[in-house]
Amino acid sequence: MLWAILRIGGLERGYPLVQMVAYTPYVLMLSLLALLVVVLCRRWLAAGFLAIAVIALALAVLPRAIGGPESMPGARPVRILTFNLAKSKAETRAVVEEAARREVDLIFLQELTRKKARELNRAGLGSSYPHQVMSFSEKYGNGIWSRWPLIRRESLPVKEQPRADVRVPDSIPIEVVSAHPTAPIHRSDMGLWERDYGVFPPAFSAGIPIVLAGDFNATLDHANLRNVIDTGYRDAAEVIGDGLAPTWPSTIQFPPPVTIDHVLAEKGIAFSQYDVVKIPGSDHKAIFTEILLPPVAGENGSAAGET
């Protein structure tokens, strides 16, 4: 009951509640098992309270596993790959090959070094994705690679999170951000994590549609991420119905795997594909998704690019 109240009320604050709430899907499974045991023991009052908790947790968790690919007549598909390179330890060739295999249009990379960016460009990203925007600290940064022209915007004011406008052919431009707020690992990280979530642009604040992609260091059970989504975004995994597919850690180990990597797009943008991809060398899995941009009316009233 306490966990359900914590999660439904968005009451997690500070260490260790922020870390704990990420494991809400596992608590739902444990609560179902506990409910079975309590019923078999004929503890009816306890079973009643536990049933309420199970229902509350199920309403919070299960919708992200219910969904499917969307369609949009005349839409412009844009393929996206986002990946945390794990301090640039991920295999360079594997990243380039995955991008080529998926025929992606936009690539978002986190925990990127300048050296790794040069290696990726030499390995093929530079020729396939000539338009690039990056932002670095002394150690790590983030980057955006694009097939199409980018207009650099000022990076988010914390954590080297670059953003840019993308001139999508035969469609509307979009603003994109490579997201990577501070990981709430230790007690001392809590203030930084809260600060970083305060700088994400709300949906419909840019004049053009916004897409946020990256390692958000939060699951859909964290109130901070839900507050960002509630401004008018949708989560690709939740829309498709794969919202429980874990992205970190990439192997089954302790802590149990959770979903902290996301692609968010403003309402009005559809999602037609989604996949979680293992790429060697990182403790994260990559996310591939295809978004559908609304058709643009041409001079003759038909959608731009439509034949």
> Within this chain, do residues 18 and 86 fall inside the same structural domain, yes or no?
no
If one counts the domains in the chain, the total is 2
Domain boundaries, position 287 = 76-293
Q: What is the pLDDT of residue 49?
A: 94
Cα 153 from chain centre: 21
Residues 6+ apart with CB under 8 A from 305: 76, 169, 170, 171, 295
Distance spanning both ends of the chain, measured CA to CA: 57
Q: Is 290 helix (H, G, I), strand (E, B) or coil?
A: strand
Does residue 302 form part of some domain? no
pLDDT of 255 reads 81
Distances (CA, A) of 293 to 103, 149, 211, 228, 304: 17, 17, 11, 21, 12
CATH number at residue 123: 3.60.10.10
Domain boundary among 32, 65, 98: 65
> CA gyration radius for the chain?
20
Per-residue pLDDT tens listing for the chain (307 residues): 999 999 999 999 999 999 999 999 999 999 999 999 999 999 999 999 999 999 999 999 999 999 999 999 999 999 999 999 999 999 999 999 999 999 999 999 999 999 999 999 999 999 999 999 999 988 899 999 999 999 999 999 888 999 999 999 999 999 999 999 999 999 999 999 999 999 999 999 999 999 999 999 999 999 999 999 999 999 999 999 999 999 999 987 778 999 999 999 999 999 999 999 999 999 999 999 999 999 887 643 444 443 2
Q: Say whether both 57 and 175 belong to one domain.
A: no
* 304 strand-pairing partners: none
Tell me, yes or no, whether 27 and 153 share the same domain.
no
Same domain, 35 and 173: no
Give domain status of residue 298, yes or no: no
| pLDDT recorded at residue 7 | 97
Instruction: Write down the pLDDT at residue 306.
Output: 38
The reply to whether 118 and 230 lie within a common domain is: yes
Residue 41's pLDDT is 94
Kind of pairing between the strands at 261-266 and 233-235? antiparallel
Residue 303 has what pLDDT? 44
Task: Say if residue 43 is in the same domain as residue 180.
Answer: no
- Tell me what pLDDT residue 298 has: 60
Task: Indicate the DSSP class of residue 202.
Answer: P
